[in-house]
Structure 1
Amino acid sequence: MRRVHALLIVALFFLIGLKNTQSEYLSHYIRPDLLTENAACRSESEVLLKGIANLELWALKIVDSSSKIQSGILSGNIKDFGNFDECIDTKKNSIRGKYCLAHIHVDASEPNVPIKNEIIDYVSYGRRHTEITHNRTQNNVLLPDILPSLALFQSAFCVPASCQPKDVENMVNVSLKEIGNSVGLKIYSEVFEENCYTETNEPWSTGQKVFLIVFVCLITIAAVASIFEQQIIAQTKITNDKSLLNSFLEKGILPFVISKNWNKLTRDVSKNSMRSMDGIRAFSICLVVICHCGLSNMVLPFMNNKTILDWADQIVYLPIYLSGWSVDSFLLLGGALRTYNMLKEHSEKKFNFFNDFLQRYFRFTLPLLATIAFYATVFEKIGSGPTWYKSVVIHKEACQRNWFWNALYVNNIVNSEDLCIVQTWYLGADMQLYLVAPLIIHLLWRWPTIGKQIFAFVFFLSMLIPAAIVYLTGAAPLYAASYTDEQIIDYLKWLHYFTPNRITPYMVGIALGFVLWKLKSGDSEKMPKKAEYAGWILSLAALLASLYTAFKFVNPSFKYDLVETMIFAGLHKALFTIYLAWIIYACESGRSENLNKFLAWKPFAFISKLSFSIFLTHYIVLSYMEGTLRHQRYFDFIQNTHVFAGNFTFSVLLAIVFFLLVEAPSRSWVGSWFVKK
């Protein structure tokens, strides 16, 4: 206890020392004498210093918009964005403000004084030893950079626009060195071109103009189609001539009629459809958005950053940390529907592998390419902010480089460290599993005994794959700040994105689809009550086992153990998806009517139909909000719930527009191209 008190007292004097040097620091970070190689920057900096001495407003704005040493550092308030707009809006003749967000590194200058290292470790929750902080640029981390940033100090500096990042770094480092020497710390900065901004009026590129023209055309076509639809229908009723309706409306304009597309979202589905899946799908897409909001929390500036890691100690917040498991539920549903539909087509002698694949490919790819086009062209034009490059522009560059890997659905394997639209790794994994699943499904149909044996072998092998990956790479078993950045990178690349590690939930889906097909076709035996009770007990036990073990692995105090991690990596997907599979089976077999009614609730059906559009577009909302953030936020449950509700609402609204203009018309076109005989 005394050591804690001593630590806090030293920390207090440490902060007081920094505060007392603040005014001197502000007046000295502009150092023209150091700018020996940049005459323009040196000249404008000298004018700036004279302006500060004469209390000229424009010069004071440049100093005012730069970061000061903030309070609350011991609570994790280690990022300060200054005033972005005040800086870049400042002008004086030819001098314009340039905003640079510098990475600040703090170390004890005297290694034999452990108390200072303890303070720095306390501020960063010990992550300064496990986090990539030095030279953290687009060339040294996964793109986009979704690694935790809880130990990286950041401060903003406003300088004349003629100054280059290296000039800013040299000037700032002199002041930081003086501050560090006064309190016994080694403080220095890194300034990168990608983190510097000036007010620019760059002309629109050809690609951006083309996208805007196409977007306006889509809106115009939808408006014209909606206006003329009723007139054509009325004329058809009078003349009883349906040729105009069939040729002009149905095949040409009808896919764009807004009222028709809206009805696709709101109308009731067939009673024969498996409506419980709507609820599972709706919850899953909500969890996807929660997961990506959580990733943003790991890099955004909070005045109480340490609270983020404190949450990991509380089991009540575990579902938020495990929201990334939602992709396994999507794979479960994908495997179940692929199996059910294929077996149904087999029984009706309508199965056509190439027709199914091409229909699915174009149904997914047209909306996907539209989203990629937005990222690669106009997205960067709609905002600005201290982290706009990292949050938005970097996506544009990745999509311009790698869009074709997305179109081929191999982006989760090829160049997975440079993803175009980060969440689309899932589409690659899902499409690959969709293509190979018929090998097992056909065996289950043609030779059930052999098929079941091969299924069991593949299922067992699928649980060994993630365990083997952990053994070979030492990867983290899930995304959590308790692991090193290198372990998280290995997790993302080899466990999260990598298709072989996603076989298990898809296999559970295949089993579920097979059972549901037997059930719906009347070829299944009635389950005894004891077996039903056993199903509920075992499925709940599987869920609790996966959650309990996961809580151990997200806890910041967890000490990495290779054997435990291998077991968890191999089993948790199977346990979690088996529970979900039982829920769906219980609903569809009539064993849980109340739960089935809940999951079939109309709002869930609405979100379920919109889920693909939400999936494609929600990261646009998150990236925009992250890139335009100007200041620190306060982290707590209510604040984050409010932020999530806003992000999800905007995501749904954007997805509705996308569905009406892009997804629904493309589905109609594809459906007309591949009509099954």
Structure 2
Amino acid sequence: MALAWVQLFLLAGLLAIPKTTRSLNVSEKCVMDTGTFLREINQGNPKEYAVLMYDAFGKLGSNVKGGNTNRPGLLQQCHSAHGPSFSGQYCQVFLKQGAIQYFVGICVPDSCNEEEVQTMVLYDRFKLGHASLIPPFPSILVNESTQEMFMAHCLSDTVAPDASDVTCLFVCCTMLAIPLAATLFSATVRWRQDRDVTPTTESACLNDVLNQYGTVKTNRSTASEINGSTTEVNDSARCGSPRFPKSCVSQCLRAFSLQTTCRGIFGTSSGFPDGGYSSLNGIRILSLLWIVCGHSAQFPVINNLDNYKDWKKTVERSPLYAFSLSGPVFMAVDTFLLLGGLLSARSLLVSIQRAEDKLSAGLVVGFLFRRFKRIQPLHIFVMCLTVGLISLVHWGPYWFPFIDNLMDCKAYWWGNLLLISNLLPVHEICVPWTWYLSLDFQCYATTPILVYFYRLNKAAFAALAGGLLLMTTLAASLVTGLLRLPVFQPSTLHLFSSTSENYVLYYYVKPHTRYGPFLIGILTGIYLTTKKEQLLKNKWQAALGWLCCLSILAALMGLAYALQGIPAQPSVPHALYQGLHRPMWALAITWIILACEEGYGGFINSLLSFSLWVPLANISFACYLIHPVFILVYIGLQETPIHYTDVNFMYLFLGHLVLTLGTSVVLTVLVEKPYVLLKWNRKAGPVQH
């Protein structure tokens, strides 16, 4: 059937196209090479290159009714075909037939550019009779028989990085090279000092340690290694700990060395001096796993499932699929906002106590700067890595939905640098999943204001907090009602629809609609840091609290399914749910934290305080930033669609997770932690925290 279409195209095309080359704006080289290919494929014993090119064309497959409409063809096979004066070039022709939009992969000579391919396909359809190089869907599957083409896109077999790509790759290499050089420097200093230590000096060192700590270790160690603290011995160099030169560069290299950044990365300490807040690690990691699971399911659904409609029916039919639906999944983001507010309030209050109970402008600047240098190095690294990958990797046919968004980095990188990317139009966000960092920092900047009013006047603070919570709730409700938005953006909502764009642009990434959970986190952090006695005094109070908490969580998940879909007109239930569900979710998580802190967590506290969560929490920030890169690379390298089954998606999730965890350890110690540890002292220069 397909070969018959090619033959018809040959018979009519070879006669008609050369005569109209000038009017069609198709180069003579393109026409001649195309004619050579078509002539060869029509032979009784065609040459191998022609067979490869023809075989690389996208063919109509089964399960069109279930969503298998794209015909990607074979990109690598097309590129491997080499004719007498040309090579195979893989192009995608984007078509519409009735309500179905799809693309077809074709293999044409590389002497034809995208405009010429589009011209030839259009000329083939409208000028050469009823035959078509790309056969339409038969009428038994699609009511409309007429095809409309709106774009042709060719994927090059070569990479050509521009100046911005080279700059990004240089930044990535530099950020990795500095810690490695610092590690070599530290090792060299330690080796030289070990070489200079005499037996007499070593014996004196061990005697000093014995006298001070009452114990002896078999290997040379600093006092900090013996008592498990960060205390340093004055003559540490004599005892085998490397004594670094006092220069600025040397101190920076020490902070960046792996000998420093690897310490504690796999420790099981909660990270808080009093050992509290251990449940936060479990909440953080379970929320992160939920997000990775949701992204692993959501991203392939956007464009490269061959049974998309079957997946949609399965997901929408059963609430048990909450883990693969993006609405409930991304309430985990509100959990992160809650934890961010709690920890920001606690951090600022502790800093105020250390500053003799004074909230000064300098303290606020330092508070914000520490947050900035905490998130930006790894953020910039991932942004540059993503841009570099775009220019270096030979992508497959399913890369096109993401390429435009990621290429916005070259024009709108400054939005990420200034942490205002969520305020830009949705189609201009560089590395789209980093919108959260901008939102988080904007919310973080409000913590000093609220803490100031808390210390100034409790009544004014309560009025301010209540007003902010009311305004963010009303903003979310009004935006939803006026724009007729769904209560969440499910993966079943088409990525490029106007509703999807409005949902992200006016609601999902904006601080005025997402501030509620962070505000509740600030209030929780202030309470837990300043409380004098326990709130829960009886078991019945704890039982009632757990009943309300679990009921709220169940209701929010259930209502997400009851209200799914786009309302035909402004809907009060949709607006109310949109305005209330995120603060209510945050309140329920707050109860879990409070109950665990006050001894009423039971087995839930044991689960959330499991020591395994601590090292995972240490790399959680890197996990959040890097896991979408693995998912997009996997999708972008696919040449064939993914078939949805529970087992397939489970393996995808586990594969992405293992790669994410391993890479996050490396990024944490090489990129993130050095800047966290580096602290500037006006008198001594850069020193380690």
CA deviation after TM superposition for structure 1 residue 202, in Å: 3.2
Q: Which amino acid aligns with 1:499?
A: P
Alignment correspondent of 2:34: 45
User: Where does 1:264-279 land on structure 2 (aligned, <5 Å)?
Assistant: 264-269=264-269, 270=271, 271-279=274-282
2:76 matches 1:85: yes
| Mapped partners of 2:475, 2:660: distance in 1 | 35
Alpha carbons 2:281, 2:613 under 8 Å: kept: yes
TM-score, length of structure 1 as denominator length: 0.83
State the shift of 1:622 in Å: 1.4
Counterpart check, 1:71 vs 2:40: no
Deviates more, 1:311-320 or 1:393-402: 393-402
Report the counterpart of residue 516 of structure 2 in structure 1. 504
Match of 1:217 in 2: 177
Structure 2 distance, partners of 1:241, 1:592, is 44
| Structure 2 residues not aligned, in runs of 5+ | 202-234
TM-score using structure 2 length:
0.82
Q: Distance in 1 between matches of 2:317 and 2:294?
A: 18
The answer to whether the aligner puts 1:186 opposite 2:149 as a matched pair is no
1:375–1:395 CA contact under 8 A, matched in 2: no
Deviation at 1:607, TM superposition (A): 1.9
Does the CA contact (< 8 Å) of 1:359 and 1:671 recur in 2? no
- Contact kept in structure 2, 1:545 and 1:575, CA below 8 Å: no
Aligned residue-pair number: 610
CA distance in 2, matches of 1:236, 1:420: 52
For 2:196 and 2:480, locate their aligned partners in 1 and report how far apart those are by CA, in whole Å.
65
Instruction: Indicate if the aligned counterparts of 2:425 and 2:505 stay in contact, CA closer than 8 A.
Output: no
Q: Find the counterpart in structure 2 of residue 323 from structure 1.
A: 329
* Residue equivalent to 1:385: 396
Q: 1: CA distance between counterparts of 2:170 and 2:4?
A: 52
Whole-angstrom CA distance in 2 between matches of 1:59 and 1:466: 58
| SS of alignment partner, residue 91 of structure 1 | coil
- Distance (whole Å) between structure 2 residues aligned to residue 207 and residue 498 of structure 1: 31
- Contact 2:161/2:391, CA 8 A, preserved across alignment: no
Q: CA deviation at 1:568?
A: 1.0
Unpaired stretches in structure 1, ≥5 consecutive residues: 1-20, 108-127, 129-150
Does 1:252 pair with 2:262? Answer: no
Structure 2 counterpart of 1:405: 415
State the identity as a percent.
18
Counterparts of 2:557 and 2:401, CA distance in 1 = 33
SS of 1:77's equivalent in the other structure is coil
Task: Indicate conservation of the 8 Å contact 2:94/2:102, yes or no.
Answer: yes
Q: Following the alignment from structure 1 to structure 2, what is the Cα–Cα distance between the partners of residues 152 and 603? A: 47
The change in CA–CA distance for 1:495 and 1:275 in structure 2 (over 3 A counts) is same
Report whether the alignment pairs 1:362 with 2:359.
no
Q: Secondary structure at the match of 1:154?
A: strand
Structure 2 counterparts to residues 138-157 of structure 1, below 5 A: 151-157=100-106
Structure 2 SS opposite 1:462: helix
Change (3 A) 1:397 1:235: same
**C-alpha contact 1:87 1:99 (8 A) present in aligned 2:** yes
C-alpha distance after superposition, 1:332-366 (max 9, x if no partner): 00111112222333344265111111111122112
After the TM superposition, which of the residue ranges 175-184 and 313-322 deviates more from structure 2? 175-184
Decide which of 531, 535, 540 is 1:530's aligned counterpart: 540
Residues 67 and 82, structure 1, Cα contact 8 Å, conserved in 2: yes
Q: Secondary structure at the match of 1:429?
A: helix
Q: 1:53 to 1:579 in 2, by over 3 A?
A: same
What letter matches 1:610 in structure 2? Answer: I
The aligned counterpart of 1:163 is: 112
The offset of 1:429, in angstroms, is: 0.8
SS of the residue aligned with 2:453?
Answer: helix
Alignment of 1:332-351 (within 5 A): 332-348=338-354, 349=357, 351=359
| Structure 2 residue matching 1:95: 3-state secondary structure | coil
Supply the distance in 1 between the matched residues of 2:489 and 2:281 (Cα, whole angstroms). 27
In structure 2, the residue matched to 1:436 is: 446
Within 5 Å, which residues of 2 pair with 1:400-479? 400-479=410-489
Which amino acid is 2:420 matched to? V
1:604-643 deviation per Cα after TM superposition (whole angstroms, max 9, x unaligned): 2122111111122222111211111110221011110110
SS at structure 1 position matched to 2:490: coil
Change (3 A) 1:209 1:607: closer
User: 1:204 Cα deviation (Å)?
Assistant: 7.1
- Where does residue 280 of structure 1 map in the other structure? 283
C-alpha distance in 2, partners of 1:675/1:218?
17
Distance in 1, Cα, partners of 2:138 & 2:536: 80
Give the drift of 1:273: 4.1
1:104 maps to which of 95, 102, 114:
95
Tell me the secondary structure at the aligned position of residue 244 of structure 1. Answer: coil
Instruction: Give the aligned residue type for 2:670.
Output: L
Q: Shift of the alpha carbon at 1:261?
A: 2.5
Does residue 304 of structure 1 match 2:307? yes
The aligned runs of 1:555-634 (5 Å cut-off) are 562-634=571-643
Q: Partner amino acid for 1:447?
A: N
Q: Does 1:488 align with 2:503?
A: no
**In structure 1, how many angstroms separate the alpha carbons of the residues matched to 2:586 and 2:397?**
41
State the match for 1:112 in structure 2.
none
For the residues of structure 2 that align with 1:324 and 1:587, how far apart are their CA atoms?
24
